[in-house]
A and B are shown apart, each in its own frame.
Chain A
Amino acid sequence: MDIVYVELDRCIACLNCERACLFHKFERRIGSTANIFVTVDMDRRQIFAGTCRQCETAPCMTVCPVEAITRDPLTEAVIVDKETCIGCSMCIVACPFGYIVLDESSRRATKCDLCGGNPRCVQMCMAGALHFGSIDSLAERKRKHPDLGLGLCAVSDRGDLK
């Protein structure tokens, strides 16, 4: 399946993704909390961006007492049915990454639903840091970019040995 992932060292914290997500939800009246998160840690001068990984074995889905969390048959995204959700927040406790949250206005769980297969955040990421693809395409990207800070030795795009 395809997920939204971040090439972290391309992110300049413009916040376009958060806004794209938020406005998408305003417009469709489906909430008022963004489901992609950009954090700027001023103490360590670090930028971190991330969103739901659409886990294959999703703790949020497993723990939901009312089966409000299911898998979208089309995109395979882990989605929340707002009508069924009772806002008990068990999923939020269960998610190891903090990417499912309680929506500010509806008080129901909310998370990335991949916009039905054309994620707005990716469209609006002008730095080219966000991608929509398989998790292996992320691995492939990392193998191509030795400068990601992973301490790996590899051949860069320009062909010179790092």
Chain B
Amino acid sequence: MMTARTVVENGVVPTLCRMCSNHCSIGIHIADGNMIDIAPLEGNPVNQGKMCPRGRAALDTFYHPNRIRTPLKRKPDGSYVEISRNRALDEIAEKMLDIKSRFGARSMGLWKGEAIGFLQQEEYPRRFAHAFGTPNYFSNDSACYNGRFLGHYLVTGFWNPFPYYAQADLILLFGTNPPVCHPPFMAEFADAKANGANLVVIDPRLNPIACYADIFAQPLPGTDGALAWGLIRYLVNAGEYDHELVERYSIGFEAIAAYAQKFTPEFVEKETGVFADVLVSVAQLIIKNRPKVSFYMGAGLEHHDNGVDNVRALVVLSCLTGGLDIACGLTWPENMPRNKLTLYDELPLENEEPIGADRFPVLYELRKECHSMTAMDFMLGNGDYPLKGLIVTAANPAVTNPNTEKVEKALSSLDLLVVNELFMTRTAQLADYILPAATFLERSEIHTDPKFQRVYLTNKVAEIPGIEDEYMLWHDLAHRLGFGETYFPWENEDQVNRFILEPSGITIEQLRENPQGIAYLPLTFQKYLSRPLPTGSGKVELVSPYLEKLGFKAVPEYVPPYHLRKKSDVYPFLLTTGARKTLLYHSRHQNLKHFRKLHPKAELEIHPDDAAGLGISHREPVRIVSEIGELVVEAKIVHKAELRQGVVEMYHGWEEWRINFTTFDNINDPISGFPLLKGVPVRIEKISTSDMH
């Protein structure tokens, strides 16, 4: 058992869970200096006094015997030796300065991981990068999340538009599995259902929530845009849209009305595989219930080479139904006034050729996010300049980025790879220096929730001597590199929290007294009636002048996905990756014993008719082969309704079975730069018994 100190000897410390990004209010129970239990806390509208088993496992993560507890340095023979934190940071700083003097500051990159979190945890490396002089900030957001952000932002100028589902008369879910991805939404769905709401679920995969759907349709992956345009056409031609919104608060209606015309129900059927009369039924449900219609677009839509425009088309549809900034529609959240830590105004670096900014200018301009797939080319010497060093904090690109073989080669080729981690992940195993990271229980940070417009302060519950939180990593490095006093003057995270909160009018003390959060602004709706939307035109941009200026189509046109443009007999199946599992969180938590009992190993979900056609039986190992790589896993034959025939699905986060050996890094959405992770053409091979010996 490792030495850990809790902040109180006995009692309950309230905080927020960070085992996924939903941030439920929890209480950590402590007895005799040991954290012994976690229970949900009442009073936070996000989780309403409930929590999930994933959250309760935070203690198993904290006390995990395999946690990295001391800094490690790789020896020339590949083994690791323990090293003091001070010495590790001295050496890392020295190597960073060496890279800077030889190649320029931009040859260093920083990569923030999902496991670390958002708000200040994301802003530390962004700040650090610019203080050091490199524009190269990366995160997993260049392969997830930003596609949906951009799809919304380019139309309405805001994000995160989480609806209050309980007030809807019709809910449409596209490519999402809320009980798994957003557990707190479940109560709202149940309330909506009890109030008699209709439900439409669009997904190639049948998740249990679809049992309640009035209409469930399984389109071909990546064809949601065609479906959206079919619905837009129906509504426009029927005159069933929000006329006032179109006339007074939007631009581009004529263009979209004209473009929509080719998406007849028959055309949509041919493109998506969804029957024409199903499309018409969905359209009629929308007409019957509008404007009280909730649309939710999940990650299933963005992992395509046409994802942003598919999402945009659905946001346009949502606006046409009258859902703009109403409670059950596209809510326009207001941010808390706060001090930002980023230095984009003080120290702009867009002229330093941020990696990927030339290929995917929208991603950089609107998100200040460099393109992690392009970064691999820069590491391998195929970029405009070399990327020689990288600091990764709790990200695991060796598992979760596409084209694993290339990622491993690229990361291994670096002069300096530093990984700040909880565990020996695949990525950590490639590092020159590994630093022990702190869990969420070991830090105190500000969190804001845009849906309920609340701000929270999480509490530090325990600490392990020798393990520092994320802020101290950047602080200590900055001071060694000579810009600490200017840019990281705060002695600890408590001081940072005070700085962030200053303009809000809310104090740390108030937040401490209210662990379930404080509403920073009252919720108001239909704000666009009294003030312009935060788009370039101040109106809903049904067409985007911004994109047009950059050389894209102004209308969110539907471009058929890669697998329809390049049909292949060699790779007849469509692999979708990334459908989540209840207990795992991307590549996290698979080292928890009791979780592994329920998710013991990777499996390829396959339709029974497809399996029969290949002569594959349940639990038989099969080989997944794409144009660039292959992987052997067990087949899981699902119920015939569970998956669209011709589509196979595999989880994306396994350390042992990395499906990203088969996914492409170079087939990208032109706006977001996202890789194709759903709809990858593959073939499934039966492994003959002789192969196995």
Contacts and interface: CB of A to CB of B under 8 A. Distances in A.
Interface of A: 7, 9-10, 12-16, 19-20, 22-23, 26-27, 32, 40, 42-43, 45-47, 123-129, 145, 147, 156-158
Nearest to B51: A124
Interface of B: 39-40, 47-48, 50-53, 56-57, 178-180, 183-184, 186-187, 189-190, 193-196, 206, 208-212, 582-583, 594, 597-598, 639, 641-642
19 contacts: A10-B190, A12-B212, A14-B52, A14-B180, A19-B582, A23-B56, A26-B594, A123-B40, A123-B50, A123-B51, A124-B51, A124-B53, A127-B186, A127-B190, A128-B48, A128-B50, A129-B190, A147-B196, A156-B195
A14 B582 contact: yes
Contacts of A10: 187, 190, 193-194
A16 B190 contact: no
A19 B179 CA distance: 14
Contact of A47 (B196, B211, B641): B211
B582 A23 contact: no
A7 B187 CA distance: 12
A156 B183 CA distance: 26
A32 B180 CA distance: 23
Nearest to A10: B190
A142 to B, nearest CB: 12
A10 B642 CA distance: 21
Nearest to B642: A42
B193 A158 contact: no
Nearest to A123: B40
Contacts of A32: 597
A75 B180 CA distance: 33
Contacts of A129: 190
B582 A15 contact: yes
Contact of B52 (A13, A45, A126, A145): A126
Contacts of B39: 123
Contacts of B210: 45
Contacts of B57: 23
Nearest to A21: B53
A147 B639 CA distance: 29
B53 A128 contact: no
A144 B641 CA distance: 34
Contact of B598 (A7, A19, A47): A19
A127 B208 contact: no
Nearest to B213: A45
B47 A126 contact: yes
Nearest to A20: B53
Contacts of A157: 194-195
B638 to A, nearest CB: 8
B189 A127 contact: yes
Contacts of B178: 12
Given A23-B53, A42-B641, A126-B184, A13 B190 contact: no
B353 to A, nearest CB: 46
A47 B195 CA distance: 19
B183 A126 contact: yes
Contact of A147 (B194, B208, B598): B194
A22 B597 CA distance: 10
Tell me which of B51, B187, B208, B212 has the highest count of chain A C-beta atoms within 10 A of its own C-beta. Answer: B208
A147 B192 CA distance: 11
Contacts of A15: 582
Nearest to B583: A19
Given A9-B194, A158-B195, A22 B594 contact: yes
Contact of A126 (B186, B193, B195, B196): B186
Contacts of B208: 12-14, 40, 47
Nearest to B189: A12
Contacts of A128: 48, 50, 186-187, 190
B104 to A, nearest CB: 50
B38 to A, nearest CB: 10
A126 B51 CA distance: 6
Contacts of A23: 53, 56-57, 594
A127 B187 contact: yes
Tell me which of B47, B56, B184 has the highest count of chain A C-beta atoms within 10 A of its own C-beta. Answer: B56
Nearest to A25: B594
A11 to B, nearest CB: 8
